[in-house]
Structure 1
Amino acid sequence: MNNKRTAKTAAGALAAALALSALLTACGGSKGTATGQGTGAEGTLDVSIMSILLSPTPPQDDNKIKQTIEKATNSKLKIQWVSGNNYDDKLNVTLASGDIPELTFIRDPFAPVFRNAVTQGAFWDITPFLKDYPNLTSKISKTAWDLTKMQDGKNYGVPRPRPSEADPFFILRKDWLDKVGLKVPTTTDELYTVMKAFADKNPGGNGAIPYTTYVNPSDMGSLGQIENSFTGVNGLWKLQDGKLVYTALLPEMRKSLEFEAKMYKEKLIPEDYASLKLSQSNDLFRGGKAGMIVDKAGTMSDYYDKLKAIDPNFKQTDFYPVTSINGYNPKGPGFNGLMAIPKSVPEAKMKRILKLIDTWMNDDVFAIQQYGIEGTDYTVKDGVKVINTEQLTKDNGPDFNQIVYVADPYASSTKVYFPKEVNDLFKKIQDERAKNSAADVSIGLYSPTAQKILPELNKKVQDAKTKIILGRDPITAWDDLVAKLKADQDVAKMSQEMTDAYQKRSAGK
């Protein structure tokens, strides 16, 4: 996050604001139920909201979808929409001022300014109250709740849910697999056998490469899924015997490097993979010049038309997601930011705001922004709602997803415009993946030492990996680096801090 003010300044301002708000609350007490401050269920809940705007024009106060949501939730929503281009700057200024809307979108729950705000007591710990709101606990995954806990193991906001399963993983050309007479791989050895067969038997008929891949400046890109399949973890940290271990130190990482170097030497990945961008890598697959890619199953529509034009026999079910490799596949964090309630809001009203979100997540209420207004944004044909997506977008329906959202657990895998057989296949594979998918357990964990050394350390590790994969350095160079890292006091301190943070968060203390 691009912080315009220092954490120290923000913390000081927030502490003052907290003290002031506590004083005002004590003096003024609760106002009537007409303003939503009372404990009764009657009366309209007036609530100020700040959230992100990703469309060109914000919904106006008389927006029909907004008014329909307000009627269904017995509320009056005073929404401040802030462009995504400068949301983080606006949020930082707002947090530092202490004048925080009663429901505020926090894009990065672990940015220093929000961490400081929580530490200063500026936001409600909603953990004890969640049991009273069934939609919050049933329609937001446990993964999302776990990974948005702060360092004290408590939740200071409602996660905006996203599907946690079916994160980007290996996608195979099933038609090529059938041509070489092999089954969908389940181990790294079988994965190599498939790639080698794609190279030797040329099922694409055009000398295509087996696996198109790329790297990012800050990580290993799609090659990271090869590494993760060896280490069995999603991310840079593995929980091992109760401790978090930096994955570069694992012996499995060495094995993955040998595997990747072999892939490069045998031309199973692009010769220029280290300089390829994501879009260029995807274009190789889209152009029928690769047999495997890393992506979500639901992106099939991005590739299908081009592949069908090249090969008329290509079927949608030939875009085939691999279930798992070595018992591993990645699980997403299950959230995209969170909605937080400042402590300046009295407890009674805080509970009503949680009730507002919970009610908003009811199927019939959430459907208002999903489909819009009947006769304007959708029509009903044979009992099915047919959406005019252009009109719904014009009427700002999707914008309200930035406040409250209900995630379809299969949204990443299935689409309404996919044929039934395709959706059935992707759904079946996603259900299988869910049995052993792994989330990044380090999300949200705070280590002062990691903040200081990790960016440069990751760069050093990535540079070493690239040189070994390209054959410029021998594998022994990796052994030398790992030995240095194991003897590095900062690395040891970082690992201990990450472990302490994980255990504290897990214990909820």
Structure 2
Amino acid sequence: MVSCQQLDESVAAQNKEAPLALTWTAVQYTASPPSDVVLGHIEEATNSKLSIIWVADAMKEDKLNIALASDALTKIVTIQDIRNSAFLSAVRAGTFWEIGPYLSQFSNLNAMDKTILQNTSIDNKIYGIYRERDLSRQGIIYRKDWLDQLKLETPTDLESLYKVMEAFTKNDPDGNGLNDTYGLTDRNDLKFGAFQTLASYFGTPNEWGWMGGKLQPAFMFSAYKDTMKFMRELYEGKLMNEQFAVTSKQQQWEEFTEGRAGVYIGNMDDGRNLFKTLIQSNPKAEIDLLNRINGPDGKPHVWSQAGHNGIFVFPKSQVKSEAELLRILAFFNRLADPELIYMLNYGVEGIHYKLENGDMVELLSNESERWEQEVRPLISLMGVRALAIRPQGDPLREKSDRLTEDNRSFLVINPAASLDSPTANERGGELNIIIQNATNSFILGLLDEQGFDKEVERWKQLGGDQIIQEFNEGYAGRS
């Protein structure tokens, strides 16, 4: 961490120069853009003058394509989909600065996570500052009061997890004498619902894995089928919601918060909001979080996301010299200092939050509306983040953060995350539907193993074989 003295010296050096004028295209996820309250403090701390063009989330890809075609770019451009074909073409045409060779000059940027950098690379080169997100918040949220009522131990492996879900279904965990509960609530999302997390517990690769010296899609591995069989057992035993394949996330939440289901597999951060809703109707309810489930090999595994929500890139047509690029990188390096990370997350101390014991933050409840208007939209401007403080008084949030950090010790990385396949870009969505439907049909008992294999062959014939070839060629080309 940079010392206060170093920060003071850095700021003093910056202030000898004229403020850095920056135009910035940013994504607006909120109803309205932020006021200048926090932005003014950021400008002062970074010796900059920001002119931000806020683009509505729903319009971002169209705006990007138009800007690329007309060369109407800003000095900083937010790219959320780094596999956007127009963006990739522009990168390969030399439109944007390659920044990888410069990162070692900046302490915070040099410390960026190597896995995330690789995931954002294009042709094995770094063109942007990543917009950091957690690599994996996946885990299990469960009714601790039900577990205690049935005198069960916290599950540690797939067998004990199954037994807990079975007991939650058959042994009246809420004690009302009715057969009105079940184990798992799931939804129509194989990735962010239960399936992919369970698949990682079984040892399935993350999207792509190595088989016979080649990259192959995860659904070609035996562990993927083991996961389907596990979920089929849950379904046939009525240990999960029967309508999972057409259940929305909101409906899934209601199954849990209304006391019908006792296990939710997904983002552990959902636990605090599930709990807040649950205790409105059942004040005595308790929930807990779990992230380590040992697989058949006796070890925990959890799939990793890419660790980013896009990148910030710098067009050569707007950033005309290496010297200007270095000043912009210094700006992002400064944004990654703790005091500015706090500002982008929580606002201004004394206005939006207060510190407790120097290392925890408490949002000022009477300023929550102001925080929504002035601070929340600023998440769009955050690149590298390494928060040292979190809202206090929220045990589930604190535990979720601890377990998320623990997940980093047994992540399953997607080896194809930074690879490009023209066929996948063009037809990947429709091809994925074949596998999604086949997976759900197997779980529902509508397909047997042979039928699933036929659907995989259909996927291969309609373009899947080409995707496999392109990913393997891309991997070989970057080695």
TM range (shorter): 0.7 to 0.9
Q: Paired residue for 1:25?
A: none
Q: CA deviation at 1:233?
A: 2.7
**Structure 2 residue 392 is matched with structure 1 residue 416:** yes
Does the CA contact (< 8 Å) of 1:163 and 1:334 recur in 2? yes
Give 1:225-304 correspondences, 5 Å limit. 225-234=197-206, 236-240=207-211, 242-304=213-275
Q: Which of 382, 387, 398 is the equivalent residue of 2:376?
A: 398
Give 1:474-493 correspondences, 5 Å limit. 474-482=448-456, 488=461, 490-493=463-466
Does the CA contact (< 8 Å) of 2:26 and 2:54 recur in 1? yes
Work out the CA distance in 2 between the residues paired with 1:308 and 1:320: 16
Q: What do the CA deviations read for 1:263-317 (whole angstroms, capped 9, x no partner)? A: 11111111222221121111101111111112322222312234334444323xx
Does the CA contact (< 8 Å) of 2:294 and 2:301 recur in 1? yes
Q: 1:436 to 1:378 in 2, by over 3 A?
A: closer
- The SS at the match of 1:49 is strand
Does the CA contact (< 8 Å) of 1:103 and 1:339 recur in 2? yes
**Structure 2 residue 170 is matched with structure 1 residue 194:** no
Report the AA paired with residue 225 of structure 1.
T
Q: 1:282 to 1:55 in 2, by over 3 A?
A: closer
Work out the CA distance in 2 between the residues paired with 1:252 and 1:261: 14
Work out the CA distance in 2 between the residues paired with 1:95 and 1:254: 43
* TM-score with structure 2 setting the length: 0.85
Q: Paired residue for 1:23?
A: none
Does the CA contact (< 8 Å) of 1:135 and 1:362 recur in 2? yes
Q: Paired residue for 2:152?
A: 182
Q: 1:253 to 1:51 in 2, by over 3 A?
A: same
* TM-score with structure 1 setting the length: 0.80
Q: CA deviation at 1:364?
A: 2.5
Q: Paired residue for 1:502?
A: 475
Q: CA deviation at 1:208?
A: 0.6
Does the CA contact (< 8 Å) of 2:65 and 2:86 recur in 1? yes
Q: Paired residue for 2:86?
A: 113
Q: Which of 417, 420, 425 is the equivalent residue of 1:443?
A: 417
**Structure 2 residue 23 is matched with structure 1 residue 48:** yes
Q: 1:373 to 1:449 in 2, by over 3 A?
A: closer
**Structure 2 residue 137 is matched with structure 1 residue 159:** no
- The SS at the match of 2:316 is coil
Q: 1:495 to 1:58 in 2, by over 3 A?
A: same
Q: CA deviation at 1:148?
A: 0.6
Work out the CA distance in 1 between the residues paired with 2:348 and 2:394: 25
Work out the CA distance in 2 between the residues paired with 1:220 and 1:69: 35
Work out the CA distance in 1 between the residues paired with 2:145 and 2:453: 40
Moved more, 352-361 or 434-443: 434-443
Give RMSD over aligned pairs: 3.0
Q: What do the CA deviations read for 1:410-457 (whole angstroms, capped 9, x no partner)? A: 99xx743404xx456444433432211224333342112333443333
Q: Which of 427, 442, 447 is the equivalent residue of 1:473?
A: 447
Report the AA paired with residue 172 of structure 2.
N
Q: CA deviation at 1:76?
A: 1.7
Q: CA deviation at 1:247?
A: 1.8
Report the AA paired with residue 251 of structure 2.
Q
Does the CA contact (< 8 Å) of 1:231 and 1:247 recur in 2? no
Q: What do the CA deviations read for 1:308-332 (whole angstroms, capped 9, x no partner)? A: 34444323xx322232341221323
Moved more, 112-121 or 471-480: 471-480
Q: Which of 59, 69, 89 is the equivalent residue of 2:62?
A: 89
Structure 2, unmatched stretches of 5+, are 1-13
Work out the CA distance in 2 between the residues paired with 1:390 and 1:220: 30
Work out the CA distance in 2 between the residues paired with 1:268 and 1:109: 40
